Amino acid sequence: MEVRELEWFVVLARTENVTNAATQLHVSQPTLSRALARIERQLGVKLFDRNQNRLRLNKYGEIYRAHAVRAMKELTQGEERIRTLVDPERGVVSLGFLHSFGSWLIPSLLDKYHVAAPLTSFELEGGAADAIVEAVRSGRVDVGFVAPRPNAEDLAWVPLGRELLCLEVPPNDEFAGRQSISIAEIATRPMIALGPSYGLRHVVDRLFDDAGLTPRISIEATELSTLRALVRHGSGIAIVPVPPVDQQTPTVTIPISDANAFRFYGAITRNYGPTGSAARAFLDYVTGHFATTEVEADAV
């Protein structure tokens, strides 16, 4: 069955009149009648009840019309999707990112890129580092933004920069007046941390491991916003990225004095790069936007 015959059937089902349908479709009535006969022969049932020269869609026709309409819609959407992937100016780019990047990195990049390519649209997906890695690996996401660099040889890594880490405590905490603090001092206190699948947790574990210590994790959260809310309510203290300068927090953040209290962040793609030209154009923009020379050696 040809796609055009499916379209003819949908029009005929709407008009229930061969003459009117043929006129709308700019085909002859015999051509339309033969197409309908081929469809009915393939299905093994009649789709219309005939009463002299009139047609009336029957129950089989109603079922087939519903599926035909959906099929035509899917084909149209597929064609549009491919057109946008091919056209870097009007394309769709799917991005995955850590939830914490959703408050500063992603909005900033999209705002700037919108100036360069105002017709590009984006599909956004926030999640844990492991989830973003799998989304990129499977092709569901074109570009992922994660920290730290994942241990994944099948993915390409584009280093973008590094975030300093700090200790976040409630305003009335015993550490609240400190100008800086070390991991050794933090190790004596119960902590709130993200779960083991999160990139920030990997960094926290690395900080304590480098100091020869083990963190006292009392609560594990699944989102940075929840973690910070728990700190605010006095449920514990936490190691988090230093908040952006324009972001007010009801808690107190204290710089960590250990030299390795930071995490590299960057973009990941499949080794051969994103499939669509729109995604490739966006990745080229991101790569050029950041001064990566300084972090290239450190991020490996």
The CATH number of whichever domain residue 38 belongs to comes to 1.10.10.10
Q: State whether 40 and 188 are in the same domain.
A: no
Q: State whether 226 and 253 are in the same domain.
A: yes
When computed from its CA atoms, the radius of gyration of the chain, rounded to whole angstroms, is: 29
Q: State whether 49 and 71 are in the same domain.
A: yes
CA separation, residue 194 to residues 214, 240, 281, 295 (Å):
15, 10, 33, 26
pLDDT of residue 87: 63
Strands (E), 130-255: 143-146, 155-169, 190-194, 216-221, 238-241, 252-255
Q: Does this model's pTM top 0.75?
A: no
pLDDT digits (tens, 9 = 90+) for 273-283: 887 888 888 99
pLDDT digits (tens, 9 = 90+) for 40-64: 999 999 999 988 768 899 999 999 9
Closest CA to 239 of 261, 213, 260: 261
Backbone angle region of 101, left / alpha / beta, with phi > 0 → left and psi within -120 to 50 → alpha: alpha
Q: State whether 210 and 137 are in the same domain.
A: no
Q: Tell me, what DSSP letter sits at residue 188? A: T
Could you give the count of Cα atoms lying within 13 Å of 237 in the half-sphere of its Cβ? Answer: 26
Q: State whether 209 and 255 are in the same domain.
A: yes
Helices (H) and strands (E) in the chain, counts: 11, 11
Q: State whether 256 and 280 are in the same domain.
A: no
Closest CA to 29 of 47, 51, 12: 12
Cβ pair 168, 226 in contact under 8 A:
no
Q: State whether 242 and 268 are in the same domain.
A: no
pLDDT digits (tens, 9 = 90+) for 57-111: 999 999 999 999 888 888 877 776 676 666 666 678 999 999 889 889 999 999 9
Q: State whether 233 and 111 are in the same domain.
A: no
The whole-chain average pLDDT of the chain stands at: 88
Q: Tell me, what DSSP letter sits at residue 256? A: B
pLDDT digits (tens, 9 = 90+) for 210-219: 999 999 999 9
Q: State whether 228 and 210 are in the same domain.
A: yes
CATH number for the domain harbouring residue 268: 3.40.190.10
Determine the structural domain holding residue 120 and report its residue range: 92-160+264-299
Domain termination residue (choose one: 86, 118, 151) = 86
Crossing angle between the packed helical segments 59-86 and 3-15, to the nearest 10 degrees:
130
